Amino acid sequence: MAKKIEGDFEISRIPPAQPYVLNQEESKRQDAFFTERSIPHVLAQSIEQYITKKVGREWNHPVIIERLRRAIVAQKDDYWKPAQKRSLQYTKGYSVLGYLAYHFPVYFMQTEYLLMMLARDGLLKKSMNILDIGTGPGVVPLAIADFYSRLDDARATVWSLERSEEHIEAFTYLRNACVPPGGRVSVKPPVKTDIRTIDRVALPDTFDLLIFSNVLNELVDPTTDVQADIVTQLSERLAPDGSILIVEPADEENAIRMRNLTITLLKKGLSIFGPCLFLWGSTCTAPRCWSFETAPAIRLPRLMETLAYCEDSYRYVNTDIKYSYAILRRDTLKRKSYHLSAGSRFLRFSKLHLHVGKRINVAGLKMSAELGDARSHVFKLCDGTAKIPVYAVLPSYHISPENDLITSAPYGSILELRNVLVRYNRQHDAYNLLVNRNTRINIENS
């Protein structure tokens, strides 16, 4: 920062921006929005109107609805193909219309939850430059504009990158319909580019937040090295106190790949803010780490309801929110500071093999929602040292006031578990830590 003093300039460092902390009213407004579980009416309506405009017939005409159904099924079939056999190019109008009808509502709400998480983590600033990479029809920018509409005076300028013309056209329509010009959030027109080669793209020098939402797994060649190169190249534009949010679908293959990517990014010099914490200081190797966050299912928008009004309705209903995410930074800030050392009265997960059949104490992060059922609760645990996956298993008849915190603790909480029995699960090549009524579990709020 330069200040003119008596014909000279005084140069000083710009003080780091303070986190934007939501006041009570802002939090209340956000909570009310999340309680509704619906995408904003104006957005749902604009998606319908865009479809009508694109196809030249009412969006709910039976022929159009049938074509949308076919596009959704084709897109899902494509998604589940091995990466090198997928097309997912979004060059045809209907592929984008199918995306708007089926994927958009869930990803939009998911982004709203992620923004709330960033706010709670103190990672939003009063004024931010944000870059959304692989924006599609503008899911993330539109969610940012909506989230900020419930804040009092935070501002953001959102840039985005996208290669598909069809997506850009949908983005532009929705932006014009839903984001008032001159508001506190300015959504810039998306830049058409391939994110693997962005050298010549005109963008601001620094961003406070880079978002990769459901894009890295859709690259034509989604190897960890290619993904890591894209993230590291863009991270050069990250402010020293900025954050990178990577979000990927929660299915086993994509979630595991995402976690491996974060470990590669660590080796390239970025650091992990969350959800991972390496409690013993050493970096983990992400052994088959299938970890994802969940949020309440959304209410069916009218378009999805119309699509689902048929025999195979389940094919057209997409309301569950499940996602794998990581926040990375250039500095070493962490979501929580909690460290274990040799003197701690807990066993490292890397030593579990020496204690099979014994009762031990451990500390670890809860890294899943419920993976079991009403008879037997199962949760993934991690302390950053495991060589194979570790799960806490709590039979329902052993639930007690001393151990039931594990069922309600949020994703990413640090738990201390005292008196659990170590079992090796041969079928899954994993360790199960059996929790019984003599186990005490508490949550660490450091």
Ligand X SMILES: C[S@@+](CC[C@H](N)C(=O)[O-])C[C@H]1O[C@@H](n2cnc3c(N)ncnc32)[C@H](O)[C@@H]1O
Using the minimum distance from each CB to ligand X, give the nearer residue, 58 or 194: 194
- Contact of 124 with 20, CB cutoff 8 Å: yes
Using the minimum distance from each CB to ligand X, give the nearer residue, 107 or 207: 107
Instruction: Report CA torsion sign: 17, 23, 26, 27.
Output: positive
CB of 199 to ligand X, least distance (A): 13
Using alpha carbons only, what angle is made at residue 417 by residues 412 and 421, rounded to the nearest 5 degrees?
A: 125
CB of 196 to ligand X, least distance (A): 5
In angstroms, rounded to a whole number, what is the distance separating the alpha carbons of residues 273 and 244? Answer: 9
CB of 326 to ligand X, least distance (A): 15
308: DSSP letter: T
In angstroms, rounded to a whole number, what is the distance separating the alpha carbons of residues 183 and 383? Answer: 44
CB of 283 to ligand X, least distance (A): 28
What is the β-pairing status of strands 155-162 and 191-192?
A: parallel
Using the minimum distance from each CB to ligand X, give the nearer residue, 194 or 370: 194
Give the three-class secondary structure for 323. strand
Using the minimum distance from each CB to ligand X, give the nearer residue, 168 or 390: 168
CB of 10 to ligand X, least distance (A): 43
Using the minimum distance from each CB to ligand X, give the nearer residue, 140 or 382: 140
CB of 342 to ligand X, least distance (A): 43
Residue in the shown chain whose Cβ atom is closest to ligand X = 136
Using the minimum distance from each CB to ligand X, give the nearer residue, 90 or 391: 90
Using the minimum distance from each CB to ligand X, give the nearer residue, 114 or 433: 114
- Contact of 158 with 147, CB cutoff 8 Å: no
Region of 412 on the Ramachandran plot (φ > 0 left; ψ -120 to 50 alpha; else beta): left
Which residue from 224, 255, 258 is spatially nearest to 244, judged by alpha carbons? Answer: 258
In angstroms, rounded to a whole number, what is the distance separating the alpha carbons of residues 327 and 293? Answer: 13
- Contact of 391 with 379, CB cutoff 8 Å: yes
CB of 313 to ligand X, least distance (A): 23
The CA-based dihedral angle spanning residues 286, 85, 54, 161, taken in that order and rounded to the nearest 10 degrees: 40
Using the minimum distance from each CB to ligand X, give the nearer residue, 119 or 161: 161
* Separation of CA 112 from chain center: 10
Tokens of 22: 């939501």
401: DSSP letter: T
* Separation of CA 328 from chain center: 12
Which residues contact ligand X by CB under 6 A? 90, 107, 134-136, 139-140, 161-164, 167, 194-196, 213-215, 218-219
CB atoms within 10 A of CB 196: 13
CB of 86 to ligand X, least distance (A): 10
Using the minimum distance from each CB to ligand X, give the nearer residue, 141 or 364: 141
CB of 323 to ligand X, least distance (A): 9
